[in-house]
Amino acid sequence: MSKVVVQKYGGSSVSNTDKIKLIASKLVERKKKNPKIVVVVSAMGDTTDDFINMAKDISKSPDKRELDALMSTGEMISASLLSMSLNSMGCEAVSYNAYQLNIQTSGLHGKSSIDDIDVSKIEDSLDNGKIVIVTGFQGLNDEGDITTLGRGGSDTSAVALAVKLNGVCEIYTDVDGIYFTDPRKYSQAKKLKEIEYEEMLELASLGAQVMHSRSVELAQKYNIELYVGLSCSDIEGTYIRGSKDMKLEDKVITGLATCDNDAAITIVDIKIEDVSKLFEQVAINGVSVDMISQTAPKDGKVNVSFTIAKDDLNECESVVEKFVSKENIIVDEDITKFSLVGLGMKHTSGVAAKVFKIFSDNNIAVKLITTSEIRITCAISSDDKNVAIREVAKEFNI
């Protein structure tokens, strides 16, 4: 008996009715090989951004509960249109939203996590020969309010369904796989045939926009193989799988990610005993901190620098102002987070030295740095990004 196939289509793949019809026709053909198909859809094109802009026209700080209610409607439109399209082709289909499936979530509005999904309706529909369309990106909290999962949350919805249905998961988007780095930033970037969960998780969390980091984490936890490919195309994509299932090459660097969505905050002369309290308050407000550096203590005070998402800047500044005066807060929005990832770093010395030499030779200043066994991340000026990508790619022959 063939496994359930869970497919996810991103916003660019369902951006107009012609594309939705094309996906429907491909699904009709796929159903001949795989009778049980579940499709997770994002909102059409830039619908989510349009909704956010509309909300901000109404209020500078729109109520987050109502914002989630507004944004969730985009996926409902995509799901019902795809279901209509399939039914018009003589292929039975049904769409379900978060309410109908009781997709249980917890956490803050706009950043929720999936706790559980009731798949009984999906299984009944599949048993009755229907293709099932599910709204991605959304769920219900304990109060029965609709919540959203954050940017790229439809990926997480798809993986969660694959886990619950013991299926396989295919992510379809507007790129034909995962590249060493974004080909729009470096035209000679090579496509990867496969990549290990841990490497993909690092790249996704560091700004590679092909996959949502939480979806990769979930796939790794439950060993769900992921396939990432171009919508409605026969071009071979990229598999994300465990290292035991891979033919590992002796490659030091697997991928390079850059992200321009972060800002750096430097706090001058904060009391040592207030540092832990500061980060505790930042966490309580749902702000995720990435890179952190601290100077040596002097007269009981230190300077602390850290990076956060630009979207969280106002919220974070209001927390910081409880500990120091405004003139002691320096905000730098001109940063690019530049990251190299590769399992080969575990066993190869001198990688960081090569990177720093490249930066030095090209007059690229490093503002912050953090590392792990398989990652080096630096905050550099956004103007230096393209040179850094080009020179690092050349040095490591990737």
Three-state SS across 271-324? EHHHHHHHHHHHHHCCCCCCCEEECCCECCEEEEEEEEEHHHHHHHHHHHCCCC
pLDDT per residue as tens digits for the range 225-246: 999 999 989 899 999 998 766 6
Q: Report the pLDDT value the prediction gives residue 2, as an integer from 0 to 100.
A: 79
- DSSP SS3 for 347: helix
Which residues have a Cβ under 8 Å from the Cβ of 130 and sit 6 or more positions away?
92, 93, 94
Q: Can you read off the two tokens belonging to residue 20?
A: 């939705």
Whole-number Å distance between alpha carbons of 170 and 229: 8
pLDDT averaged over 10-residue windows placed end to end, the chain, 398 residues: 91 96 97 97 94 94 96 97 98 97 95 95 98 97 95 92 97 91 86 92 78 89 95 93 66 89 95 96 92 94 95 94 95 94 88 93 94 92 95 86
pLDDT digits (tens, 9 = 90+) for 1-14: 679 999 999 999 99
Q: Say which amino acid occupies 371.
A: T
User: What is the b/e burial string over 327-366, where b = at least 16 CB atoms within 10 angstroms of the residue's CB?
Assistant: ebbeebeebbbbbbbbbbbeeeeebeeebeebbeeeebee
Stated pTM of the model: 0.80
Going by CATH, does the domain composed of 262-332 fall within 3.30.1550.10? no
Helix (H) or strand (E) holding 107: none
pLDDT reported for residue 189: 87
- State which fold the 5-174 domain adopts: Carbamate kinase (3.40.1160)
Domain residue ranges of the chain, discontinuous segments joined by +: 5-174, 262-332
Which residues, 6 or more positions from 259, have their beta carbon under 8 angstroms from its beta carbon? 206, 207, 336, 337, 339
CA dist., res. 258 & res. 242, Å (int): 24
